[in-house]
Structure 1
Amino acid sequence: MRVVAAMSGGVDSAVAAARMLDAGHEVVGVHLALSRSAATLRESARGCCTIEDAGDARRVADRLGIPFYVWDMAERFQRDVMDDFVAEYAAGRTPNPCLRCNESIKFAALLDKALALGFDAVATGHYAQVVERVAPDGEVVRELHRAVDADKDQSYVLGVLDADQLARAFFPLGDTTKPRIREEAAARGFSVAKKPDSYDICFIADGDTRGWLTKHLGEQPGEVVDAGSGEVVGTHQGAYGFTVGQRRGLGLDRSALDGDPRYVVGVDAPTNRVLIGTSDLLGVDLLTADHARWCGPAPTAEVRVGAQVRAHGEEVAAWARVDDTDPEVVHVRLDARLRGVAPGQSVVLYEGTRVVGSATIAATDRARVTAG
C-alpha cells in the first residue's frame, strides 16, 4: 500500500512513519507547512510548523531512506482553522482548533491530495486505534477506538472523521505508551527522541489566547453582568476573551460581591456582555449540538453512549439521539451535570472505547427536576 506519512517534526510522527515502513508499506514523508511565517524558529514547546520542525522531519525521513516533501497548506489552514477560530470567539463560542485541523486539513486537504496523487492512505502520529471487525454481511468495518495510553489518547480530536476517511487512515501508535515511543525513537537513532511535545494551540506559541485574539479583533469594551441580579459589576476589553467556566481574570471588584467565587456562565456576543454567576449556575446536562460527524452509520434511535466535551475531560454516561428533522443535529442528555460546558466545544460520543461520532455544541441547558 502507498502511504503518505504526515511528519510534523515531532517524535510521534517519526515513529509512526517508521512503523508504517516496517509493516511493508511504500511510505513517503510529508511535512505540512501551515504557517505563513515559518521562518520563525520555535520559541517554546508550544509552537509547531516552523522551519526547525520541517528540518527535524526531513532528518528522520533521510534516516528511514524515504522520499520527503513539504506541502504548503498555509492558506487553507488560515481560512479553515485560524479564521474560523477568530470568528467563533467573536460569536461568543469556544472552538477546538485541533478538531477543525483534523477535519479540514489532515483528513480532508491532505488525504484528498494524497489520493489524487495515487496514494492509498494517510498515517499520522495520533494516539488512537483503528480496529477492524467483520460485519454480519461479511464486510470488513474499520472502527476508531481509544488509545491504550489513556493519558495520551487523542481519539477525541479524531471524532470528526467519517467512515470514508477512517477507511484510509492509519494510527500506528495507538497500542503503545508515550514513554515506549520515546525509547523506540532513541533506539532508531532519531534526533527527535527527546524533543518536547507541542501543546495547546499551535498557532499561539506563547499561550496567550486573549492577547492573540485582541490583536485580531481589537479592544471591544463592554460590561460584566451578574446573571442573577442583572447588575453591572465590572467591565472588560472584549467578550471574546472569556469562556464559560472561567474564574480567573474577570477583573471584578470583590468588595461589591459576597464571599462566593464567580465564574463566567455565559458570553452574550450581540450585546458584548460577559455574564457571571456562582458555581451552581455552571452545571448543565442537556446539550444540543450541530455539524454532526459519524465514524460509521448514524444512530437511528436514541442510544446509550459516553459523552466527552474536552480533549482530556471525563466521559459521562448519556443518551443521544439525532434530531427528527435535521440529521446534522444531535441531542445529548447527560446522566450527571458537567460544569463549564461552552457553545463551540465539541461533544464526542463513545460506545465503550469506540468513537461513535462528534458534533459541535450549539446550546446547553439543565433538565428540570420535578418533585416526586
Structure 2
Amino acid sequence: MSETPKHVTYEDAGVDTAEGGRAVDAIKQMVASTNRPEVIGGIGGFGGLFSAAALKDMDDPVLISGTDGVGTKLVLAQILDRHETVGQDLVAMCVNDILASGAEPLFFLDYIAIGHIEADHMAKIVKGVADGCKLAGCALVGGEMAEHPGVMRPDDYDLAGFTVGVVDRPKMLDPANVCAGDVIIGLPSTGVHSNGYSLVRKVIGVDGIVPGTPEAAAKKAELEQPLAELGGATLADALLEPTRIYVKPVLELLRGGAKVHAIAHITGGGITENLNRALAPDVDAVVTRDGAAMGWDVPPVITYIAEHAGLTPAEACKTFNMGVGMCIICAPEDEASITSALEALDEHPFRVGTCVPGSGEVRYSDDR
C-alpha cells in the first residue's frame, strides 16, 4: 500500500510566484517608458500588441526579425554583481543586426531564465533592457521571467532577446550592391561589446569562479583596481561597458538620402567574419592595417586582452571588433558626404578600407 503523498506546494519546489509578481510590478513603469504610438495595451496579457500602422506608408514593407543573447559576459556581470547594463547589451545585439538591412526596430521581447527571482535584482536587469530599447527607439512589448530552481544556481541567470523591425523593400540594403572601388567607413565601438568573453574570462582568470563566494569577492576587488594600461580605468568598468546601439544615427543617415550600399555589424568573429557578410560574391574588402596596429584607435581594453592572450593580428581581428562596431560601405564619390552627415550627428567615422575585385573575403593591407 502506497504512503499518503506529502503536501508539496510550488513554493516548496523552489518557485516563488509571489516574488515573481512583485518583479512584474517593479518593471511595469520601465516597460511603459519604451512605448511607441503603435503599442496597444501594456504588459500582463498573453501577448504583446503592436499596430501595423507603422507600415502603411511604405510601398512594400518587409518585416525583419533578429534574436540573440549576451553570452558569457553575464558570468563577469555576476562575479562583479553589476547587472544594470547587460540588458542594453541584449538589445544592441539584436537591433544592430537588423539595422544592417536598413530596418527600423519596432518592438522587442526578452526572456530571462534565473535560478531564483528577486524583484530588485530583476528590476536592475530589465532597466538595462528598457534603456537599450529607448536608445534604439523600439518598444519593449513583453517578455518572460522563468525561475529554474534545481537547474540554475539561485543567482545565476541567462538572457535572450528578440526584435522585429521593418524596411521598405526599395530602400533595403543589399550586399549585392557593393562594387570594387567602394569604400568602407567605420563607426567606433565602446570596447569589447558582447563577443569574445570566453577568451576574456580565461585571460583575466575568472573561469571556474562561482559568484557570491569569497573567491569571487577577491577577484572583484582585483578587477576594480585602476590599470595604467587602460589609462587609469578598471577592467571591471571597461569589460562591462555596454554594447553601442547604432540605430538612431544610422537611420537618420539613411533617411537623409545617403547612398549606402551595405552595412556590417561587427560581432562574434570580429572584422574578419562579419565584414564579409556585407560583400558581393565578386568583391573582397581590404582593411587598413599596418602590422599589429590598425588604421584607427583600438580601445585599450581590447589591446590589453589581445596582448595578454598572445593573439596574432589575424587572431585578434577574428575574435574582437578591434574598435569597429559597424561598417558602412558606399561609393567613393559619396564618402565625403556620408562622413560629413555622420559627423553632424556627433559620430566619429573613419576609413576602414576599400573594396577590390575578389571572392567575398576580408583581407588586410599587411597580408603577405
What TM-score comes out, normalization by structure 1 length?
Answer: 0.28
Is the helix fraction higher in 1 or 2?
2
Is the strand fraction higher in 1 or 2?
1
What TM-score comes out, normalization by structure 2 length?
Answer: 0.28
